[in-house]
């Protein structure tokens, strides 16, 4: 089982933010900025291009809600979306995912480092509460 499937299966802890029937959102363990999350399909496929178009649209639907939530909760002035699809493009975990990276300040240029689970939980606490208390009906 891949590392993201283990997170979905609760075999590995993660700082969960939100989930739908088909999609899970949790904090990246090595965030490029505080609040960096990954949006992943529950079904294991290696790359986003292995999803059906319908599944890809469901994934993007959640990406959009996460972006809106980051604006509402953190008033972020900018965000980066990133999809690394295939080893040649820098993909390291071969379970399809989309990075949503809030930008409150310009990119530091420093390489991301591992952040403890507790710190990640704190970083996404308000975002998780937002989805728990006022889930977006899509
Ligand atoms: P990729 O380069 O494949 O697009 O990015 C994979 C991302 O998954 C990286 O940003 C990395 O920090 C993150 N990651 C890898 N292993 C784990 C893990 O066990 N838990 C969490 N939360 N993130 C992980
Ligand atoms: Zn998987």
Counting ligands in written order, the one closest to the CA of 32 is 1
Q: Is the CB of 114 under 6 A from ligand 1?
A: no
The ligand 1 atom nearest the CA atom of 99:
4
Question: From ligand 1's centre to the CA of 30, what distance in Å?
Answer: 7
Best mutation site among 24, 92, 99 for ligand 1 pocket (most ligand atoms within 8 Å of CB) = 92
Counting ligands in written order, the one closest to the CA of 30 is 1
Q: Is the CB of 91 under 6 A from ligand 1?
A: yes
Mean pLDDT, rounded, of the chain: 95
CA angle, 26 then 74 then 70, to 5°? 45
Provide the pLDDT confidence category of residue 135 given band limits of 50, 70 and 90: low
What's residue 136's pLDDT?
56
Taking residues 70-94, report their average pLDDT: 97
Taking residues 87-113, report their average pLDDT: 95
Residue-wise pLDDT for 9-52, tens only, equals 999 999 999 999 999 999 999 999 999 999 999 999 999 999 99
Give this prediction's pTM.
0.96
d(CA 138, CA 133) in angstroms, rounded, equals: 15
């Amino acid at each position: 089982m891949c590392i993201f499937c283990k997170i979905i299966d609760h075999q590995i802890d993660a700082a969960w933010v939100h989930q739908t029937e088909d999609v899970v959102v949790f904090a990246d363990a090595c965030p490029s900025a505080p609040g960096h999350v990954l949006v992943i399909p529950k079904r294991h496929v290696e790359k986003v291009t292995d999803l059906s178009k319908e599944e890809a649209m469901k994934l993007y639907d959640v990406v959009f809600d996460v972006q809106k939530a980051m604006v509402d909760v953190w008033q972020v002035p900018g965000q980066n979306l990133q999809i690394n699809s295939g080893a040649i493009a820098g993909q390291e975990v071969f379970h399809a995912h989309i990075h949503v990276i809030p930008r409150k300040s310009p990119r530091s240029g420093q390489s991301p480092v591992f952040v403890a689970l507790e710190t990640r939980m704190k970083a996404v606490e308000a975002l998780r509460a937002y989805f728990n208390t006022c889930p977006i009906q899509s």
